Amino acid sequence: MTARSRWGIGGSAIFLVVVTGAFLGNTRSRNSVQARGIPSNSATATVAFASPGRVEGASETTQLGAAADGILKAVYVKEDQFVKRGTLLGEIACDDLQASLQTAIAEADGARQSRIRILRGARDEEKKIASEKTAAARATFEEAKSRLEMQRALYQREQVSRATFEQAVRDLGVADANLRAAVRTEELLAAPPLEEDKARADADVLAAEGRVRTAQERIGKCSIVAPIDGTILRVYARRGESFSTVTPRPLFSLADTSSRHIKAEIDERDVDKVSIGQKVVIQADALDGKRLNGSVVRISAMMGRKSISTGDPSDKSDRDILEAVIGLEDNTRSLPIGLRVTVQFLTASSLKK
């Protein structure tokens, strides 16, 4: 074999290696992805960047616990059950607080009745009795006065002794004192209550009603109610378990599952590459190779910390992220809440062709 032949064979081999490497490089490029659902005049769409995301319902998943310490007395719901806002999900046993509430209610009723009596004044029966005593005292006074005038005339004619006359004078004085006392009592019963008595009664009522509200609020903390309309995703609570606010834990997970969206966490290096309305492609191991299409509907106004772990050792956890909400074009798929997905953000230029 001549040298020229060897050179020809070597050049052909090198050319084949270069062509094969270019072909494999294009097919495996991380900057291009075959996107299903992209307009037919663009078979491929360029991926600007990719971010981890998580499937959420119409509302964020809410972890519910109790606000009081005690034993879980009852659990009223089960997983996958739809509940309305205010539905009782579970209760902590608070029997001692119920007794305190009944005592506070009784004290409040007593304080209100005392205030009513003060504002109303004496009863009509008491006023009538006082009026009758005043009339009797006045009659006694008039009788004593008339007797004194008679005794004075007899004493001046020396027909009665001085002692008899002086006794008549004393009887008139006693009758006058009794009349004054009866009149004073009748006036007091008819008089309006004193301002200081009213103020004290009002303060007693307010204090008693405050104790009732405090007891009711403490009892209210023993009930776990749904803050929104939604579906119970998980029930962690078991009847008879103890709960402590010192080391709280969730008892129920609740979310509005009427629709689905994706919340993506965008690395701070890619913040300037995302915009409202930008098209995206969603992928996940659970989708069995299928892709979902969507677009950016909302972008957070502030940076935050990562909450989605990708499991990649090279993933930097010390960088801040920007949250973006992705609306799905096909929102009929029942994706599990909390499913981790990969969100590929497409460049706008690739969709204009």
CA dist list (Å): 223 to 86, 101, 246, 247, 250:
10, 15, 18, 18, 14
164, 122: one domain: yes
Contact (CB, 8 A) for 83 and 249: no
The sheet with strand 70-75 has its strands ordered as: 223-225, 88-92, 70-75, 242-243
DSSP secondary structure code for residue 348 in this structure: G
**CATH (domain of 112):** 1.20.120
Q: Kindly state whether residue 22 falls inside one of the protein's structural domains.
A: no
Task: Provide the residue range defining the domain that includes 151.
Answer: 101-216
- 112/105 Cα distance (integer angstroms): 11
Q: Which tokens hold the place of 304?
A: 């935050």
130, 183: one domain: yes
Q: Kindly state whether residue 21 falls inside one of the protein's structural domains.
A: no
Separation of first and last alpha carbons in the chain = 53
Domain count, the chain: 3
Q: Kindly state whether residue 23 falls inside one of the protein's structural domains.
A: no
Q: Kindly state whether residue 16 falls inside one of the protein's structural domains.
A: no
Helix, strand, coil share of the chain (percent; to 5): 45, 25, 35
**CATH (domain of 82):** 2.40.50.100
Contact (CB, 8 A) for 237 and 75: yes
- 224/89 Cα distance (integer angstroms): 5
209, 302: one domain: no
Low-confidence stretches of the chain (pLDDT beneath 50): 19, 22-43, 350-353
Q: Which of 255, 280, 307 is the last residue of a domain?
A: 255
Q: Kindly state whether residue 5 falls inside one of the protein's structural domains.
A: no
183, 290: one domain: no
68, 123: one domain: no
**CATH (domain of 275):** 2.40.30.170
CA dist list (Å): 87 to 71, 72, 83, 193, 254:
20, 17, 6, 48, 12
Q: Which of 200, 234, 255 is the last residue of a domain?
A: 255
307, 169: one domain: no
132, 235: one domain: no
DSSP secondary structure code for residue 4 in this structure: H
251, 323: one domain: no
Q: Kindly state whether residue 19 falls inside one of the protein's structural domains.
A: no
pLDDT tens, position by position, 278-327: 999 999 888 888 889 999 999 999 998 887 776 665 566 667 899 999 99
207, 235: one domain: no
As beta bridge partners, residue 279 has 295
